[in-house]
Amino acid sequence: MPRPNARPYKNPGKMVIAVALSLLIYAVFFAGCVLLAMLFLFQETQYGIWFLGALVCWVVLLFTRYLHAHSCICPLCRGPLMRKQNCGMHERARRHLGFHYRTSMLIDIIVHWWFCCPYCGTHFRMKR
């Protein structure tokens, strides 16, 4: 449910890019799994070449997201929103069942267009 008292996030474009990169990474990973299964089922070199292409694309996307994640920070607590930290999370941090905090944040942005910072528990909305 959308939070009416959520603060506006200063730079929503950066979070949209992070969400798009993450979705692309999941899609390329799924395509790579399918191509690997087809390679073992049909024993054709063509699927192996496509799988290697998907693997290279996946690594490039992971590196791009890693570089982009440095610019996605919480404006209040300066916590890195798209990077994994080993510190403790806030007690109000939102986490969906079976997902990590970062993935839960991505789901909240896609579905509700707001997210909760896992480090300070503040709710941010993407539109002003």
**Which positions from 57 through 96 interact with Zn ion, judged by CB under 5 A?**
74, 76-77, 79
Q: Which residues are CB-contacts of 117 (< 8 A; sequence separation ≥ 6)?
A: 74, 76, 77, 79, 81, 90, 93, 123, 124
- Residue 108 to residue 83: CA distance in whole angstroms: 17
Q: Which is nearer to Zn ion, 28 or 105 (CB)?
A: 105
CA distance 82 to 107: 13
117 is a contact residue toward Zn ion (CB under 5 A) = yes
Q: How far is the CB of 79 from Zn ion (least distance, A)?
A: 5
Least separation in angstroms between CB 123 and Zn ion: 10
Q: Which residues bind Zn ion (CB under 5 A)?
A: 74, 76-77, 79, 117, 119-120
